[in-house]
């Protein structure tokens, strides 16, 4: 009698094979388009990170290199992820092409706008200094509106025609809802900043994204933005852990609760005009509870993978 590894044994090789298969080989054309566009936007972000590392400069202010860097990385990751999610939707190819095209065009224009304005040496947001700047700012608002609409369509679709396994389904649903929440905060930033234009002699000040004394809208905007990568990533790892489906669902639920808690604390502190973190504030301690929930889910997934990897293969008799 000899010992062999049965199909489905979760090894690094099987995880890589599954990722390569689901991500590219079995992808629809509209998904691959999103992958290419997302990768290109990430390269734009990395290029600006390199420029920032060479020339230096502050991370704050309307003319920092941080803005085109974060826009490229964030929109690139979002475009990639939404393209991958499209493979878990039971839709007609023409519908996939329409939604994917809207996402790719709108995110590309958004990153292009911020990049061009930084190259011109002028702020991108809340800049009505010239008719060109005002027109570009308005166009940026229109493009992000198309992005939000496409995300909303995908969210509704995933609650109705999603085809992913149970744990992944809830992870993606939670990530999409969080992404919509991030966009809502972005709209809040624009509306609040616009309301200051008439009262502030300089529409380019940092106050445009600061609520109250020190509430950071950018922080409240950033926290839920990438739940769409974190939560499905956790569900994907759990799918290789060998855990029962019910336990995978439980851990994804714990992670969802943790992420929602982080967003709630960040949003609450922002609305109260408080800094994102303040060690002398008792409300900062509220971050610990959701952080522990997220860490516990991640640790359980890692432990499950380690145990499954270390478990000796089952023996099967040779014919």
pLDDT > 90 fraction of the chain, expressed in percent and rounded: 37
Where does the pLDDT of residue 310 fall: very low under 50, low under 70, confident under 90, or very high at 90 and above?
A: low
Token readout for 61 is: 């202010």
Residues 133/122, Cβ–Cβ less than 8 Å: yes
For residue range 36-91, list pLDDT tens digits in order.
Answer: 999 999 999 999 999 888 887 776 766 778 888 999 999 999 999 999 999 888 88
> What does 159-202 look like in DSSP terms, one character per residue?
HHHB-S-HHHHHHHHHHHHHHHHHHHHHHHHHHHHHHHTTT-S-
Tell me the range of 122-136, 197-211, 270-284 where mean pLDDT is highest: 122-136
Give the per-residue pLDDT at 190.
77
For residue range 104-148, list pLDDT tens digits in order.
Answer: 999 999 999 999 988 888 878 777 788 888 888 888 889 999 999
DSSP state for residue 89 in the 8-state scheme? B
Give the per-residue pLDDT at 286.
81
Is the pLDDT reported for residue 299 higher than 80? Answer: yes
155-169 average pLDDT score: 90
Where does the pLDDT of residue 277 fall: very low under 50, low under 70, confident under 90, or very high at 90 and above?
A: confident
Is the pLDDT reported for residue 247 higher than 60? Answer: yes
Is the pLDDT reported for residue 260 higher than 60? Answer: yes
Where does the pLDDT of residue 1 fall: very low under 50, low under 70, confident under 90, or very high at 90 and above?
A: very low
How high does pLDDT run on average in the chain? 81
Where does the pLDDT of residue 4 fall: very low under 50, low under 70, confident under 90, or very high at 90 and above?
A: very low
Is the pLDDT reported for residue 302 higher than 60? Answer: yes
Is the pLDDT reported for residue 2 higher than 60? Answer: no
Is the pLDDT reported for residue 199 higher than 60? Answer: no
Where does the pLDDT of residue 298 fall: very low under 50, low under 70, confident under 90, or very high at 90 and above?
A: confident
- Please enumerate in sequence order all residues whose Cβ is within 8 A of that of 236, keeping only pairs 6 or more positions apart, or say none: 168
164-174 average pLDDT score: 92
pLDDT > 70 fraction of the chain, expressed in percent and rounded: 79
Domains of the chain with CATH codes: 20-163 (no CATH), 168-310 (1.20.120)
Give the per-residue pLDDT at 10.
47
Better pLDDT: 5 or 305: 305
Give the per-residue pLDDT at 61.
67
> What does 15-83 look like in DSSP terms, one character per residue?
HHHHHHIIIIIT--HHHHHHHHHHHHHHHHHHHHHHHHHHH---SSSTT-THHHHHHHHHHHHHHHHHH
For 48, 77, 149, 246, 303, the CA distances from 249, given in Å and listed in that order, are 39, 25, 29, 5, 16
């Amino acid at each position: 009698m000899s010992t062999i590894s049965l199909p489905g044994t979760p090894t690094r090789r099987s995880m890589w094979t599954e990722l390569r298969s689901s991500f590219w080989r079995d992808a629809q054309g509209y998904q691959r388009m999103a992958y290419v566009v997302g990768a290109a936007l990430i390269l734009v972000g990395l290029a600006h990170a390199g420029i920032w590392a060479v020339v230096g400069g502050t991370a704050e202010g309307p003319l920092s290199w941080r803005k085109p860097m974060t826009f490229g990385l964030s929109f690139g990751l979002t475009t990639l992820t939404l393209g991958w999610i499209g493979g878990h939707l039971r839709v007609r190819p023409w519908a996939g092409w329409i939604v994917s095209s809207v996402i790719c065009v709108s995110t590309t224009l958004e990153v292009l706008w911020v990049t061009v304005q930084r190259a011109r040496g002028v702020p991108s947001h809340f800049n009505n200094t010239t008719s060109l700047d005002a027109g570009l700012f308005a166009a940026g608002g229109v493009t992000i509106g198309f992005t939000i609409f496409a995300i909303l369509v995908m969210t509704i679709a995933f609650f109705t025609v999603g085809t992913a396994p149970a744990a992944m389904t809830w992870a993606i649903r939670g990530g999409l809802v969080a992404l919509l929440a991030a966009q809502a905060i972005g709209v809040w930033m624009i509306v609040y900043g616009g309301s200051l234009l008439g009262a502030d002699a300089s529409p380019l000040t940092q106050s445009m994204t600061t609520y109250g004394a020190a509430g950071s809208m950018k922080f409240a905007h950033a926290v839920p933005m990438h739940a769409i990568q974190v939560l499905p990533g956790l569900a994907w790892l759990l799918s290789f852990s060998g855990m029962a489906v019910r336990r995978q669902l439980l851990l994804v639920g714990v992670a969802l609760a943790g992420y929602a808690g982080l967003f709630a604390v960040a949003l609450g502190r922002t609305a109260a005009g408080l800094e994102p973190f303040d060690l002398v504030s008792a409300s900062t301690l509220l971050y610990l509870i959701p952080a522990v929930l997220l860490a516990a889910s991640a640790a359980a997934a890692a432990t499950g993978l380690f145990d499954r990897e270390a478990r000796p293969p089952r023996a099967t008799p040779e014919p």
